[in-house]
Amino acid sequence: MSAVIGEHRIGKQFRFEAAHYLPGLPEGHQCGRLHGHSYTVEFVLTADRLTGPGFVADFGDLAPVKKMIDSTLDHQVLNEVLPEVVPTSENLAAHLAGWFVEHVEPGLPGRLVSVRVSETATSWAQFEVAR
């Protein structure tokens, strides 16, 4: 049997509830009003080689992400806790990727590939980390 060439990826999802509004939209646009979502955020990682028993990274090592989401984003108005960006799913994905690369990735054997933010069960935005 020949070896297959490829890469391993893992993903971990987190959920939180938050509100936001999007300034600059046309008069009457529903997203211009304060409204809430049940957000799902997925972090995808890869590694050049597996460590330990065969991990890209131990899922337990992603606990700081849950702690940050719970303490910073959950049940908040995103415009207030992220005043530097308009809190679209696209901008939220990029913000979370930057936070992860700075605060979590240095302690991991794997590296972040992408962050996907879903506001609903049928819509999402993804930020892919350029290396």
Question: Tokens 């960006």 sit at which residue?
Answer: 85
Can you tell me which residue has the tokens 């308009």? 86
Helix (H, G, I), strand (E, B) or coil at 38: strand
- Helix (H) / strand (E) containing 127: strand 123-128
Q: Which of 29, 35, 75, 103 is catalytic?
A: 75
| 17, 29, 31, 35: the active-site residue | 31
Judge whether 29 counts as a catalytic residue: no
State yes or no: is 17 an active-site residue.
no
- Helix or strand or coil: residue 91? helix
| Residue 86 identity (one-letter amino acid) | V
31 is known as an active-site residue: yes
* Residues noted as catalytic: 31, 75, 119
